[in-house]
Amino acid sequence: MQFLLRKQAGALSTTELQDFGGLQTHLDHFRNIGPEDGAQFGSLKDISLMSHAALKFSGVQETADYVASVTARIIVNSMTLSDAVIDPLGTCLSTYAAQLNHSCNPNCIFIFSGPSMSVRSLRAIPVEGELTIPYISVSMTPSERQKQLKGQYFFDCSCEYCLSSLTCGQPDMPATLKVGIPTKDILQLEQEADRVQALAADAPSSEVEAEILNKALKLFSPYKDVYPKWRSPWPTINYALMQVYLDLGHWLRAVAHALQVYLYISPVWYSQEWHPLRAVRTFVLLKICLELGFQTNEGPNKEHFRPTLSRYDIDWPVVVGALANEVTATIPIGFGLDSNFAAAVKPCLDDVPQQWQQVQKGAWDRQRKKLEMLANDLVDQ
């Protein structure tokens, strides 16, 4: 409706209208959608209903067919608008960005900084090489990616990762996993975990949500030595648990799940250490560790943490300093020095004493091993 009103008011230039008109509508695909197709955006009937409402409430003088084409273009070509730490805020449409093709091994990513959007490269791109972005989460299995791309964007992906059955550069069914569990059992396990996780959305409280999510995660316990933690749906369940425990103020549980992301998931999903999404997850871990370091040393409930943490002997200044250095190093390449992310993390980085950031590699390596023990012990309980 905003587009229709802006067009009527003359707020859109001829070039903007021409660029928008050149975008795909996929109305023919919408017209042929059946219940079995798993479409993400519904059918032509749904578009007609939305278009009718936009036409009625905007009061513009346009044909129903034109408004339907506008609705379809916006639905198909919009992308997720995010804040400084890449949390979703809504949707936006850029006619330039909409022309970029998808790849499950993209060489670019969108970053928003206030009203500005930038395309940042993830690796060296040859002169005149194609710029590609992820339309969906590329951490899903090849079959899941194909289903979502077909249902949402109406094409079969033929990128190198899909042709080779790779997920984030890893075989869809790693050899160790196939040895440990028959393939049909793997798929049944993952379907059951998805089903249980979905129940958490209707939980009446955060405590119940955590209980349900733990049930989903513990389905993988018999196979913990062979099931890769980067493979969906394990990471989404783990991340959801981290967020629930943060809401509940259960810092030890939260840091255990944040460490799972840092140690096992992010390095596979985002191979570049400065990848913006990896940097955001490291920043989350840094904030948790800052709070936990305070709680264990000066907080009013420090005696509550000590029985659990005493056996790990974690040097929190070393941990916080090393993580702060990692986040700082990602800013110039991953976001830009004048980005909203740089501004968002500055207060937290300023809270880290300068002497903590003088971390020797050997000291950090020793602490990583202790953190890995803590993470696995608490998640396995």
- Contacting residues for 119 by C-beta, under 8 A, at least 6 apart: 97, 100, 108, 109, 110, 111, 131, 133
Amino acid at 115: P
Asked whether 24 and 154 are in contact (CB, 8 A), the reply is no
Looking at residue 373, its pLDDT comes to 94
Strand runs labelled E in the chain: 79-82, 88-92, 101-102, 108-113, 116-121, 132-133, 166-167, 170-171
Residue 269, helix vs strand vs coil:
helix
Distance of CA 182 to the CA centre of its chain: 29
**pLDDT by residue (tens digit) across 22-41?**
999 998 888 887 655 555 56
User: pLDDT > 90: what percent of the chain?
Assistant: 64
pTM: 0.89
For 191, the token pair is 């379907």
Distance from chain centroid for Cα 55: 35
Distance CA 261, CA 275 (A): 14
Count how many Cα atoms sit within 13 Å of the Cα of residue 327 in the half-sphere of its side chain: 28
Percent of the chain exceeding pLDDT 70 equals: 94
Integer Cα distance of 158 and 103 in angstroms: 8
Question: What's the average model confidence in pLDDT over 91-110?
Answer: 93
Rounded Cα distance between 153 and 290, Å, is 42
Q: Is 90 helix (H, G, I), strand (E, B) or coil?
A: strand
Residue 236: band (very low, low, confident or very high) from pLDDT cuts 50, 70, 90: very high
Give the pLDDT of residue 39.
55
Residue 339 has pLDDT above 90, yes or no: yes
Averaged over 210-226, what is the pLDDT?
92
* DSSP-assigned beta bridge partners for residue 108: 121
Rounded CA gap, 23 and 95, in Å?
7
More confident residue, 258 or 301: 258
Compute the distance between CA of residue 173 and CA of residue 189 in angstroms, rounded to an integer: 14
Q: CB 65: neighbour CB atoms within 10 A?
A: 11
In whole numbers, what is the pLDDT of the chain averaged over residues?
Answer: 90
pLDDT in tens, 74-91: 989 999 999 999 999 988
- C-alpha 74/C-alpha 16 separation (Å) is 14
CA 184 to each of CA 166, 191, 229: distance values in angstroms, whole numbers, following the listed order:
18, 11, 19
State mean pLDDT over 118-143: 93
Q: What is the mean pLDDT of residues 83-107?
A: 92
Give the pLDDT confidence score for residue 36 in this predicted structure.
53
* pLDDT score at 223: 86
pLDDT tens figures, 162-216? 999 999 999 987 776 766 677 788 889 999 999 999 999 999 999 999 999 999 9
